């Protein structure tokens, strides 16, 4: 979707429709007549009926519109940058982070700290990973630089906590292993483009 329609600020050329509103009465008689007409037209009951109908829908037909925050939350745009999440590989369940340290390097508020080690399987393992949310400015660079889409911004936008600077650990941010099937792919900055497949160049294999 282009941005052209938002850039067009020439109001007169847009398709506005003039509503057919009646004129406000100017004489006392006119006002009296309007009151009498509205009273006996039973418009009050129209309004009460709407309320009644919505109440019935909500209570008996399960069409409640009230969001019971904080128990319920509205979906948020994938581009919204809230508290980070650490994703897992869908195939193996192993966390995606390879410990490359790019997020730590790019972080402009220096809130990411990590330690890595050489593990028993001769792989680089993230032994410690913390984000100081008291410092984080949610710029999204970490998610954008991550080569593995391992660190992403999730939809959890409540950043209030008991302490001004509370630390978040790797485990807190990591998708729980039993909720792996609910893990959403990230569509925000740094995500794979929809046409990524077209851009892949294959390595030649002579054998």
Partner 1 sequence: MSVHNSINTGKPITVTIDGKVCKSTFGKTILQIARENDIYIPTMCYLSKVQPIGSCRMCVVNVEGVDGMILSCQEKAVDGAVITTNNSALFHERQNIMKLYDVNHPLECGVCDKSGECDLQNKTMEFDVDTQEFTARDQHRPVENWGHVSYDPALCIMCEKCVRVSTEITGDEALKVKFGGYGSTIINVKQEKNYASLGEAAAVCPVGALVSTAFKYTSNAWELTKIPSACPHCGGGCQMYYEVKRDRIYRVTNEFEFSTLCGAGRFGFDYANEGVSKDPAAFNAAVEAFKNADSVVFAPQISNEEAMILQKLKEKYGFKLVSHEARAYQKFMAAYSTVTGKHLYNGDLKTLSDSQAVIVLGIRINNDSPTVKYHINMASKWQRARVIYMHPMEDSEIQNIVTQFIKYEVGSEEGVAALLAHTLLEGNEDVTKTLREYLDDLDIGNLSAECNVGEEELDALKKSLLKKRGFSLVVGSDLYMHPRAEQIAKLVALLETYAGFNVICVPPAGNAMGVSLICDLDDSAEGKTVGYNVKGDFTLSALGDGDLDMPALNQQEGTLTTVDKRVVPMHVALPYGGYVLNDIANALGIHAKYTIDYTPMLPVAKGFKKTVFDALDEYFDATGTEHRGYLLASQKVPVKRTLDEIEEIEAFDGAVVYRCDPVEQFSPFTAKSTLLKDEPVMLGSTQFAAAAKLQDGDTITFEIDGISFERLFKIDTEMKGTIALNPTFDMGLSASLLSSYRFSRLVFRKTNNENIGNNDE
Residue whose CB is less far from partner 1, 128 or 187: 128
Instruction: Provide the 10 A C-beta neighbour count for residue 171.
Output: 10
Least CB distance to partner 1 at residue 94 (A): 14
Least CB distance to partner 1 at residue 107 (A): 12
Helix/strand/coil for 81: coil
- Per-residue x/- mask for partner 1, residues 173 to 202, rule CB under 8 A? ----------------------------x-
Least CB distance to partner 1 at residue 104 (A): 7
Report residue 72 as tokens. Answer: 């319920």
Cα-Cα-Cα-Cα torsion 107, 109, 111, 113, nearest 10 degrees, comes to: 50
Q: How many chain residues interact with partner 1 (CB under 8 A)? A: 24
Residues in Cβ contact with 199 at an 8 Å cutoff, skipping those fewer than 6 apart:
193
Least CB distance to partner 1 at residue 126 (A): 10
CA distance 61 to 76: 26
DSSP 95: B
Helix/strand/coil for 46: helix
CA distance 165 to 53: 48
Least CB distance to partner 1 at residue 99 (A): 6
Report residue 147 as tokens. Answer: 């080569």
Site for partner 1 in 91-150 (CB under 8 A): 98-102, 104-105, 115-119, 122-125, 147-148
Residue whose CB is less far from partner 1, 83 or 103: 103
Residue whose CB is less far from partner 1, 119 or 158: 119
Residue whose CB is less far from partner 1, 34 or 127: 127
Residue whose CB is less far from partner 1, 115 or 158: 115
CA distance 176 to 139: 25
For binding to partner 1 (CB under 8 A), which residues are involved?
98-102, 104-105, 115-119, 122-125, 147-148, 201, 203-207
């Amino acid at each position: 979707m282009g941005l052209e329609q938002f850039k067009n600020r020439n109001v007169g050329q847009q398709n506005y429709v003039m509503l057919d509103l009646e004129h406000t009465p100017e004489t006392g008689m006119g006002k009296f007549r309007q009151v009498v007409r509205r009273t006996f037209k039973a418009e009050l009951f129209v309004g009460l009926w709407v309320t009644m109908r919505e109440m019935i829908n909500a209570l008996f037909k399960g069409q409640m519109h009230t969001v019971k925050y904080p128990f319920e939350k509205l979906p948020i745009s994938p581009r919204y940058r809230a508290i980070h999440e650490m994703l897992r590989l869908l195939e193996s369940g192993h966390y995606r982070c390879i410990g490359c340290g790019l997020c730590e390097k790019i972080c402009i508020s220096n809130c990411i700290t990590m330690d890595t080690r050489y593990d028993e399987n001769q792989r680089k393992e993230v032994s410690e990973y913390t984000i100081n949310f008291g410092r984080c400015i949610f710029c999204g660079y970490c998610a954008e630089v991550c080569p593995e889409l391992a660190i992403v911004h999730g939809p959890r936008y409540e950043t209030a906590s008991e302490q001004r600077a509370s630390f978040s650990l790797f485990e807190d941010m990591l998708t729980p292993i039993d909720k792996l099937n609910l893990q959403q792919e990230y569509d925000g900055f740094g995500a794979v483009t929809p046409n990524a497949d077209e851009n892949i160049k294959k390595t030649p294999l002579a054998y």
